[in-house]
């Protein structure tokens, strides 16, 4: 058996196993090149770690997961809101921030309210519902009441009851409110309504 050559300079390891010059309690060490498969695994792991870190923590690419989850949360919230017995300002604002409610309300609005209030809520036969100024009450509960029961002695007939169910009115109001900000809602005297025929 040929003994491995000494390598005092500790430089060339290309020709195979080389003994390192030191010795401790009779224990000597080979100076081996790390196997390629081992190095490959190490560098792959480093590259993978960078890629993983970037993909999940730095980029916005995996939003599809997040979108799927938020859609589920919204669907659940919509169900909870639908089963609410109490309709007040707060719950109506909440509904107006739920995309499922707003989408359902858009359909109701385009089917029933658009004819008088316009495709962009700009008004026409009916009052403008896009601006933040309200003649018959700027509170969501008042808007809901006006839509449901109508406004006596005006062209605004009751839309609830036989016309549409209460649920559809709620959705339409949520759609209207989705165009508004709670802070900006205000009441105006009737003569300031821009769509009013003079």
Going from the C-alpha of 169 to that of each of 4, 91, 137, 158, 159, the distances in angstroms are 91, 14, 16, 10, 7
Nearer to ligand HEC, 17 or 155 (CB): 155
Work out whether 110 is an interface residue with ligand HEC (CB under 6 A).
no
Work out whether 98 is an interface residue with ligand HEC (CB under 6 A).
no
| Residues 197 and 134: beta-carbon distance below 8 Å | no
Nearer to ligand HEC, 21 or 194 (CB): 194
Work out whether 143 is an interface residue with ligand HEC (CB under 6 A).
yes
Sequence-separated (6 or more) residues with CB below 8 Å from residue 85: none
List the one residue from 4, 51, 62, 155 that touches ligand HEC (CB under 6 A).
155
Work out whether 96 is an interface residue with ligand HEC (CB under 6 A).
no
Going from the C-alpha of 64 to that of each of 55, 71, 127, 195, the distances in angstroms are 13, 10, 40, 43
Rounded to whole angstroms, the Cα distance separating 130 from 123 reads 8
Work out whether 92 is an interface residue with ligand HEC (CB under 6 A).
no
Helix/strand/coil for 129: coil
List the one residue from 31, 82, 130, 136 that touches ligand HEC (CB under 6 A).
136
Residues in the site for ligand HEC, rule: CB under 6 A? 112-113, 115-117, 125-127, 129, 134-137, 143, 146-147, 151, 154-156, 159, 172
């Amino acid at each position: 058996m040929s003994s491995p050559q000494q390598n005092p300079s500790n430089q060339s390891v290309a020709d195979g196993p080389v003994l390192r010059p030191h010795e401790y309690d009779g224990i000597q060490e080979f100076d081996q090149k790390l196997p390629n498969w081992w190095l490959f695994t190490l560098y792959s792991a480093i590259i993978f770690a960078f890629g993983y870190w970037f993909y999940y923590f730095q980029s916005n690419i995996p939003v599809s997961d997040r979108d799927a989850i938020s859609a589920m949360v919204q669907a659940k919230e919509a169900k909870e809101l639908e089963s609410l017995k109490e309709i007040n300002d707060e719950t109506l604002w909440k509904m107006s921030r739920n995309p499922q409610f707003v989408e359902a309300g858009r359909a109701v609005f385009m089917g029933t309210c658009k004819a008088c209030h316009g495709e962009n809520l700009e008004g026409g036969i009916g009052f403008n519902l896009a601006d933040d100024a309200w003649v018959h009450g700027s509170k969501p509960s008042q808007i809901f009441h006006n839509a449901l029961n109508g406004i006596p002695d005006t062209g605004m007939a009751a839309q609830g009851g036989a016309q549409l169910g209460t649920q559809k009115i709620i959705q339409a109001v949520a759609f209207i409110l989705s165009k508004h900000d709670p802070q900006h809602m205000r009441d105006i005297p009737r003569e300031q309504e821009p769509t009013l025929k003079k």
